[in-house]
Chains A and B, each alone.
Chain A
Amino acid sequence: MAIDVEAYYRRYAAMVLRRCRFMLRDEEAALDAMQDVFVELLRREDDLVHSAPSSLLYTIATHVCLNRLRSSKRRPETRDDEILLSIAGDESPEDRTLSSHFLDRLFRREPDGTRTIAVLHYVDGLTLEETAAQVGLSISGVRKRLRRLRARSLELRDI
């Protein structure tokens, strides 16, 4: 599916930037990430059959920002931030609460897709059905990933 970058940009870029701003809390970093999201979209253009570009772009933006957060040293400003940074796997050692340390350990062995699912479900508040539609998995697939996360969480609590 060929992509008209300018047309996509006009229609979706503001939404993508808002998403990146929410996750990165920095206008310049968000602007960079927004451009990376569209570059990623172009890389996938031969495989695209997506009928809802907003869902795809939102998910790519979440993934791109999680990757950036992982290497950033940003400190959490809100409770959502704390969860977000923990899901991203940011390794800043200072000021980490027990719960965020726990989330670090929880997500360390999980694939990137699970991080994105966790952000959409736990931070953004999407239902299982909405999360599944976002990431292109079945509801049972999403449920299975989250169930595995919960099981791992219980294991860690017992350690």
Chain B
Amino acid sequence: MSTERVPELLIEQYLLGELSPEAAARVERSIGFEERVEMIRRDNDSFARRYPAGVYAARIRNQYDAGARTQKHARRRARVVRVLTLALPGAAAMLAIGILLFGGRGDGFVASGDPQAEITRLKGAQPGISLYRADPTVDGGVQRLSDGERARPGDVVQLAYQAAGASYGMVFSIDGSGAVTLHYPPSPASSPALTPGGEQPLPYAYRLDDAPRFETFYFITSESPFDVSTLLADLHGQAAHIAGDPDRSPDLPRHFEIRTITIRKGE
């Protein structure tokens, strides 16, 4: 028996069988060797019961997959932001101003700063999603798109949601190529808490790409918080089926309410 107390890592590696014979012999001679080994073995047993491999390995794989998609999404968002800041500052600003004006015209939207109107709307209103397109040929420069309306690649659009009393929600889209894009919250790690009150334009405009046939925008709401990354991972698994059948709804837990708007792509 030596008087050396070896680092914890060496005890771990001893038990894993990853030490050379010389290093293993050194560990066996160290102070407290048997007690330390016994303690780790007991903890290993407890760990296997409390944190089963089947459950946690799947969580880790989901977390990794969601992160990989987030990076892909972040690249797409980066393109969107570049569009905003470099190429289309005029159109983006026009959209933002236009939505504020459009939102105050009494067709289901409420101008901010009118509490009585807001209370009235919240009592009977339903959560909703709206899509606006910058269009210099129309009055005000902004056109609200209807469900099923046609849009072209390159059109600049902006999303807005109306929580109408719902506390949590998520805005995402699935296009004809099966790509899932998260629009709100800003990242899978963010809280899905919604801003209450009137219509909330998302903080960036979005230029439609050339994905084929359609893009459906979903606004799902819930009264309880949920994990955005888990839900997103699940949606990625369903996206190919939805791309093949645009009328198909995503299969979501029952407590979610879903609102959608679909635009058809092409001339």
Which residues of A approach B to under 8 Å, CB–CB? 5-6, 9-15, 17-19, 22, 31, 35-36, 38-39, 42-43, 52, 54-55, 58, 124-126, 130, 134
Q: Is the CB of B61 within 8 A of A5?
A: yes
CB contact under 8 A between A11 and B43, given known A58-B9, A124-B9, A126-B9: no
Q: What residues on B are CB-neighbors of A38 within 8 Å?
A: 60, 64
Shortest Cβ distance from residue B238 to the other chain A in the assembled complex, whole angstroms: 23
The answer to whether A9 and B63 touch (CB under 8 A), given A58-B9, A130-B7, is no
CB nearest to A45 among chain B residues: B64
CB distance from B256 to the nearest CB of A (A): 25
- Complex Cα–Cα for A64 and B159 (A): 37
Residues on the B chain within 8 Å of A52, using CB? 13, 18
Is B53 touching A10 in the complex (CB atoms < 8 A)? yes
| B interface, CB within 8 angstroms of A | 5, 7-10, 12-13, 16, 18, 40, 43-44, 47-48, 51, 53-54, 56-57, 59-61, 63-64, 67
B contact face: mostly helix, strand, loop, or mixed: helix
Chain B residues with CB below 8 A from A124, complex form: 7-9
Chain A contact residues: helix, strand, loop or mixed: helix
With A58-B9, A124-B9, A125-B7 as contacts: A14 and B64 at CB distance below 8 Å? no
Contact between chains at A18 and B43 (CB < 8 Å): yes
- Closest Cβ of chain A to B10, distance in Å, is 8
Report A-chain residues with C-beta under 8 Å of the C-beta of B12. 15, 18, 54, 58
